[in-house]
Amino acid sequence: MTLVAAPEGRSKKRVARTSAALWRRPWLRATLTLSPPLAWFLVIYLASLIVMLVTAFWTVNPFTNNLQHGLSLANFRALFHAPIPTIIGRTVLMAALVTVADIIIAVPFAYFMARVASPRARNALFVAVLLPLWASYLARVYAWIVILTKDGTLDWATQHLGLGSPNIGYTNTAMWLVFTYIWLPFMIIPVYGALERIPDSFIEASADLGARNVRTLRSVLLPLALPGIVAGSIFTFSLTLGDFITPELIGSGSNTNMIGNVIYDNIGLANNLPFAAALAVVPIVIMTLYLLAARALGAFEAM
Amino acid sequence: MEGRATRVVLVLWVVGVLLFLFIPIATIVVFAFDKSNIQSWPIRAYTLHWFSVAWDDPQVKSALWLSLKAGAAATVLALLLGSAAAFGVHRYRFFGREAVSLVLVLPIALPGIITGLALRSFFTFDGINLSLVTIIIGHTTFCIVVVYNNVIARLRRTSGSLGEASMDLGANGWQTFRYVTLPTLATALISGALLAFALSFDEVIVTTFTAGAQNTLPIWIFGAIRLGQQLPEVNVVVTFVILLTVIPVAIAAKLTGGGGITRSSVRSAADG
Amino acid sequence: MKLRTSSRKRGRGAAVALALAIPLVAAACGSSASTSTTTTAAPGGGGGLTPPEQNAPVQTSVGAGEGQLNLIAWEGYAQPEWVKPFEQQTGCQVNAKYAGSSSEMVSLMANGGGGQYDLVSASGDADLRLIYGGDVRPVNMSLVPSWKEFRPFLQSPAFNTINGKHYGVSLQFGPNDLLYSTKVFKTAPTSWSVIYSKKYAGEITIPNNPIQIADAALYLSKDKPSLGISDVYELTQPQFNAAVSLLKQQKPLIKAYWNLASNEISLFQNGETVVGAAWPYQTGQLQAAGAKVADTIPSADGATGWADTWMLAAKAPHPNCAYKWLAYISTPKIQAEQAVSYGETPANADTCALMNKIAKGSCVSLHANEADAYFKTIKFWKTPLAQCGNGKSDCVPFVDWQTAWTQITG
């Protein structure tokens, strides 16, 4: 890097003056850098969230089907009527199971990618992990229907191996499998990032101190990888919490309702926007709590 | 460091995961050649017919073009706004900083249906017609998060002394930004842009709420799957997209050194 | 790069942010924003509603095309086959937004189409919602010449004609018929009882749609006449509860509730189900792929059906192109093309020969040759409202159908 030559000419003087002015007024720099993104978020995103949440306190007139403004807790009370609590519980449980499965699958994979693979292999694996994200989500879910249906590819394969016919199409197991599959790249990438950042010297130091592999894994690697795991779990958890397309395509419809599709069902013909908004509060609250916990665990450093 | 047995197990695990990731993709590609438009295993007859159908279909071309436009615009906006946000949050201590960093993650942390619903009510409230502009607004909102995360992660890992050294050598703020800050951020920006574009290109939930009478590629795919009359055409289009994206993704992966600063380049950045 | 800012400047950035936020939040709270239609429909005497747009000015002639037409349509309703000739003839470029459910269509048409959309091919269950929501306006039928050729029962049906005003042009229709595997059923079932029967447990499928409650009510109207069900879309609470309880009993027998036609096709193709509720579209696709299935309207019970109407948005930006489309899409030739392409029955009665020319035997398989009496057995979808036809207002509105359906499916 060569020394930067002294600015000359009028426009360069202007640049130099502006930049000096900004240097002396950090608050101006802060405002200038932060205003555009913050304005975007406040004006477009937060304001619209608030507008939507306000409708949760309204009700629908059953005769005219119009929205009645006002302050009513009827929709929030309706969240406690069966089967909504079951649906919420099922969705949260599904999100948790998907997250756990993705963590288990991703960590060894990311470990290999970050610490064992050669740089060329690492690049190839990275491409391999990113590529499925470009093959339409819808097409991949639809492909699973073909694989999991009765006498589909899975049944065909297991029959050839003499393992009988699992026939898990249209079940909650199928949904869990598809969710785990679809969000897997979102878990691998942050975990890989976290593992990759651990300097070799840490491992060497741990070995020097007498720890064997398992101990190093437990006491050094996993704690340092934790932010990455938590960051990945934010994705898998929230994406499962709000998805309505996979339940629609893979689920049987019988005891497979999830928060996402109940919200979706209520906003069109049923025109029950207040109830949909009230139900939408549930994932917002869950995810906010999750985010606060994640930040405490340092996940925001690792995303 | 790892023993041989561990290494073998890891390799097997990696192979297994790769199979898991790619068997559905292989299914998509194989069924692009299926003569019947009812997708069922085993395939009885093969044909190349659907390739010509997809090639001649004007709706596919316009949907693909719209997706590219929306993705490019959203990525550029996200790069600008996301980096600005990352700089702001990283460098300046201000009241509400913790809250801001939380809010900036919301579009990705909250389910898509909520973001979509909220954005739609915002547009209706302001009387903004749904169009390509609203699609771009929707996509930018969550793409900002991805760029922000990448840039702030990199900012946290780079040493502040580089910028100060540059100033000491007589560079003004703009020159420091251009010759010192930007190069260190380059790979973070590239991987952020790549991920943002991927998210925008394949996004369907928020887009259904923010699109007007336009179809992006995922919306076209959704419609085609619902219609179910020409399913293999969807497979052809998806196959084509996968093939198209292998090269840019591979290049980007090479440029970013596998997605981030590698251990070796941390060492070199610290040294020189 | 850590640049230390003095602590006294710390508040500035936040202050700016808050300054931006407060007026916005205030505006949002004080607004009457909503995504639904909030036009007031004054309840008339006897519980009758009046459509908000009923006095909207109706076009008397069709002027020059505006060059563009934005449609909300079911997939398959705007195929290049008939859209391209239309574009060439009229110069109106067609942009189609495909919707997957009546629910979505209502959602998209909020606020009169938002000044974006011109026409929507709504099914009967959405029509009344759109009309009473003020999202669609009356159509001048004299500008649609082929209307005179329509089957009488579709010229002014109750689901799109209110007080003599037409809110759209009927398009095509079809029954929700009984699809069955010919390997299991040697003769066509004569009653819907087969889908409620334990004999086929785990091999039954019905649509994942709250309007199915009407189908259950239809079966009960014959099976339990004491309930007094006459109109399956106007159910009093006891009638509604009986239908819901029948569906709850049916639930353990269901293999899957299908969301997409292609899902149901897949279920039958792979032998997961042997009987279920479907549209003639699925039967056509399955038979074309060689599956051993057939469909029927059970003679003992009849069936519900759907009829689509092209409705004109209240705020349509291209009304001339819209009228040109209405006139075009209702001509016998185009009706025949669409019917065969999708698998439905045209509203235009002069289409039998044309359909057979496109696809042999399609006239019979799609029932385009039947006399009107056949269609009398079909109870076409209409939006369930609280207002019952008899002047009372104690029927169950659709919002409660959706809630009950979520309880049924669990």
Give the A window 4-63 contacts with B, CB below 8 Å. Answer: 4, 6-7, 15-16, 18-20, 22-23, 26, 29-30, 33-34, 36-38, 40-41, 44-49, 51-52, 55
- On whether both C288 and C180 belong to a single domain, the answer is yes
- Domain ranges in chain B? 55-271
H-helix or E-strand containing C276? strand C275-278
Cβ–Cβ gap A249/C106 under 8 Å: no
Report CA-CA distances (Å) from C134 to A69, B154, C40, C308. Answer: 19, 53, 9, 18
- What are the two backbone dihedrals, phi and then psi, of residue A126, each rounded to the nearest 5 degrees? -60, -45
**Partner residues linked to C179 by β-bridges:** C276, C295
Q: Same domain for C275 and C395?
A: yes
* pLDDT tens for each residue of C302-342: 899 988 999 999 989 999 999 999 999 999 999 999 998 88
C103, A64: Cβ pair inside 8 Å?
Answer: no
3-state secondary structure of C96: strand
What ipTM does this complex have? Answer: 0.83
DSSP class per residue in C120-184: EEEEHHHHHHHHHTT-EE---GGG-GGGGGB-HHHHS-TTTEETTEE-EEEEEEEE-EEEEETTT
Facing residue for B201 by CB, picked from A134, A197, A287: A134
Please tell me the total count of domains within chain C. Answer: 2
pLDDT over 60 (residue C409): yes
Torsion of CA C126, C127, C133, C134, to 10 degrees: 140
The residue that leads in pLDDT, C372 or A177, is: A177
Do C210 and C312 lie in one domain? The reply is no
Q: Work out the end-to-end distance of chain B between its first and last CA atoms, rounded to an integer number of angstroms.
A: 28
Residue A90 pLDDT class (50, 70, 90 cuts): very high
Residue A6 has pLDDT above 80, yes or no: no
CB of B207 less than 8 A from some CB of C: no
Give pLDDT, residue C110: 78
Give residue C38's pLDDT band: very low, low, confident or very high (50, 70, 90).
very low
Query: What average pLDDT score do residues C23-30 get?
Result: 41
- Provide the pLDDT for residue A302: 55
Cβ distance of C107 and A170 shorter than 8 Å: no
Helix/strand/coil (H/E/C) assignment for every residue in chain A:
CCCCCCCCCHHHHHHHHHHHHHHHCHHHHHHHHHHHHHHHHHHHHHHHHHHHHHHHHCEECCCCCCEECCCCCHHHHHCCCCCHHHHHHHHHHHHHHHHHHHHHHHHHHHHHHHHHCCHHHHHHHHHHHHHHHHCCHHHHHHHHHHHHCCCCHHHHHHHHCCCCCCCCCCCHHHHHHHHHHHHHHHHHHHHHHHHHCCCHHHHHHHHHCCCCHHHHHHHHHHHHHHHHHHHHHHHHHHHHHHCCHHHHHHCCCCCCCCHHHHHHHCCCCCCCHHHHHHHHHHHHHHHHHHHHHHHHCCHHHCC
Contacting subunits of A (3+ beta carbon pairs below 8 A) = B, C
Q: Is the pLDDT of residue A214 over 80?
A: no
- Using CA atoms, how far apart are residues A178 and A148, in angstroms rounded to an integer? 10
Instruction: Please check whether residues C258 and C313 belong to one and the same domain.
Output: no
Residue C35 pLDDT > 60, yes or no? Answer: no
Question: Which residues 189-248 on chain C approach chain B with CB closer than 8 angstroms?
Answer: none
- Cβ within 8 Å of residue C286, ≥6 positions away: B38, C179, C265, C268, C269, C293
Closest CB to B173: pick one of A23, A146, A276.
Answer: A23
Residues forming a β-bridge with C306: C174
Q: How confident is the model at residue A5 (pLDDT cuts 50, 70, 90)?
A: low
What is the distance in angstroms between the Cα of B243 and the nearest Cα belonging to chain C? Answer: 27
Task: Report, as an integer, the average pLDDT of A100-118.
Answer: 92
Handedness of CA A282, A237, A136, C286 (dihedral sign): negative
C168 in the same domain as C128 = yes
Is pLDDT at A201 greater than 50 in this prediction? yes
Which residue spans within B11-155 are E strands per DSSP? none
Phi, psi of C107 (to 5 degrees): -60, -45
pLDDT at A300: 66
Measured at the CA of C361, the angle between CA C356 and CA C362, to 5 degrees, comes to: 70
Q: Which residue has the tokens 């004999």?
A: C199
Q: What's the rounded Cα separation, in Å, for the pair A209 and B224? A: 61
* Within a domain: C34: no
Q: What is the pLDDT of residue C236?
A: 92
Q: What is the pLDDT of residue B124?
A: 76
Q: Do A138 and B218 count as a contact with CB atoms less than 8 A apart?
A: yes
Surface of C (127-146) touching A: CB under 8 A: 129, 132-133
Pick from C1, C70, C262: CB nearest B231: C262
Question: Which pLDDT score is estimated for C54?
Answer: 80
What phi and psi values does residue C290 have, to the nearest 5 degrees?
A: 90, 10
How many whole angstroms separate alpha carbon A197 and alpha carbon A225?
9
In a shared domain, residues C400 and C368: no
Beta bridge partners of C71: C96, C119
C371/A contact by beta carbon, under 8 A: no
**Helix axis angle, B182-201 relative to B132-157, nearest 10°?**
140
Cβ neighbours of B127 (radius 10 Å): 9
Q: Give the residue among A278, A295, A303 at the shortest CA–CA distance from A189.
A: A303
- Domain containing C330 equals 68-174+307-375
A270/C102 touch (CB, cutoff 8 Å), yes or no: no
Q: Which residues of chain C neighbour A63 with C-beta distances below 8 Å?
A: 43, 47, 49, 386-387, 393, 397
Decide which of A8 and C204 is more confident.
Answer: C204
SS3 B44: coil
pLDDT score at C240: 95
**pLDDT tens column, C119-163:** 999 988 888 888 888 889 999 999 999 999 898 888 888 888 888
The alpha carbon of residue B136 and the mean position of all alpha carbons in its chain are separated, in whole angstroms, by: 14
Considering only residues A250 and B262, tell me which one the structure prediction assigns the higher pLDDT.
A250
Distance from B170 to chain C by nearest Cα, in Å? 16
Three-class DSSP category at C94: strand
| Alpha-carbon gap, residue B219 to C100, rounded angstroms | 11
Residue of B nearest to A121 (CA): B258
Q: Which residue has the tokens 């106007």?
A: C234
The strand pairing partners of B30, in sequence order, are: none
Task: Write down all domains in chain A, each with its CATH number in brackets.
Answer: 10-42 (no CATH), 83-301 (1.10.3720.10)
Strand C161-162 with C275-278, pairing: unpaired
Q: Say yes or no for a CB contact (<8 Å) between A248 and C259.
A: yes
- Phi, psi at residue C212, to the nearest 5°? -60, -20
Q: pLDDT at residue A247 above 70? A: yes
The answer to whether residue A46 neighbours chain C at the CB level (below 8 Å) is: yes
d(CA A148, CA A177) in angstroms, rounded, equals 10
Q: Give the pLDDT score at B1.
A: 53
Contacts of C313 (CB under 8 A, 6+ apart): C109, C112, C113, C117, C118, C119, C120, C135, C136, C137
pLDDT classification of A301: cutoffs 50, 70, 90? low
- The token pair that represents C114 in the structure block: 């938002």
Q: Do C266 and B94 touch (CB under 8 A)?
A: no
Percent of all residues in chain A with a pLDDT value above 70, rounded to a whole number: 95
Cβ C14–B38 below 8 Å, yes or no?
Answer: no
Beta bridge partners of C256: C205
Which residue has better confidence, A146 or C218? Answer: C218
Taking the Cβ of residue C116 and every Cβ of chain B, the question of whether any pair is shorter than 8 Å is answered with: yes
The per-residue pLDDT for range C185-242, each reduced to its tens digit, is: 999 999 999 999 999 999 999 999 999 999 999 999 999 999 999 899 999 999 999 9
282-301 in C: which are within 8 Å (CB) of B?
285-286, 289
Q: Are residues C327 and C222 in the same domain?
A: no
CA distance B152 to A63: 53
Set of chain A residues whose Cβ sits within 8 Å of the Cβ of C41: 64-66
Q: How many Å apart are CA A295 and CA C148, to the nearest integer?
A: 68
User: Over 90: is that where the pLDDT of C104 sits?
Assistant: no
Could you tell me which chain C residue has the CA closest to the CA of A251?
C256
**What is the largest distance, in Å, between two alpha-carbon atoms of chain A?**
82
φ, ψ for residue C180 (rounded to 5)? -140, 155
Q: Is residue C72 part of a domain?
A: yes
Question: How far off is chain C from B223, nearest CA to CA, in Å?
Answer: 6
The CATH number of the domain holding residue C231 is 3.40.190.10
- Rounded Cα distance, C329 and C308, in Å: 12
What is residue C240's three-state secondary structure? helix
Does the beta-carbon distance from A34 to C386 stay under 8 Å?
no
DSSP string, C25-80: HHHHHHS---SS------B-GGG-B--TTTTS---SS-----SEEEEEEETTSS-H
| The pLDDT of residue C244 | 96
* Chain A residues within 8 A of C259 when measuring between CB atoms: 248-249, 253
Indicate the DSSP class of residue C8: G
If asked whether residues C326 and C212 sit together in one domain, one would say: no
B93 reaches C (C-beta below 8 A):
yes
- Cβ contact A63–C257 (<8 Å): no
Q: What is the pLDDT along chain B (272 residues), one digit of tens a residue?
A: 567 888 899 999 999 999 999 999 999 898 888 887 777 777 888 888 888 888 888 888 989 999 999 999 999 999 999 988 888 888 877 777 888 888 888 888 888 888 888 888 788 777 787 888 999 999 999 899 888 888 887 887 777 777 778 878 887 777 777 888 888 888 888 888 888 898 899 888 899 888 877 789 998 888 888 777 788 898 999 898 888 888 877 877 777 665 443 333 333 333 33
Residues C216 and C94 in one domain: no
Q: What percent of chain C has pLDDT over 70?
A: 88
Q: Which of B177-181, C143-147, C276-280, C287-291 has the lowest mean pLDDT?
A: B177-181
> What distances in angstroms separate CA A270 from CA A62, A85, A259, A262, B85, one per listed residue?
11, 20, 16, 11, 40
For residue C32, tell me if it sits in a domain. no
Domain at B55-271, CATH from 1.10.10.1110, 3.40.50.12500, 3.40.640.10, 1.10.3720.10: 1.10.3720.10
* CB < 8 Å & 24+ apart, contacts of B87-91: B87/A33, B87/B151, B87/B155, B88/A30, B88/A33, B88/A34, B88/A37, B88/A38, B88/C13, B89/A34, B89/B148, B89/B152, B90/B152, B90/B155, B90/B156, B91/A30, B91/A33, B91/C1, B91/C2, B91/C3
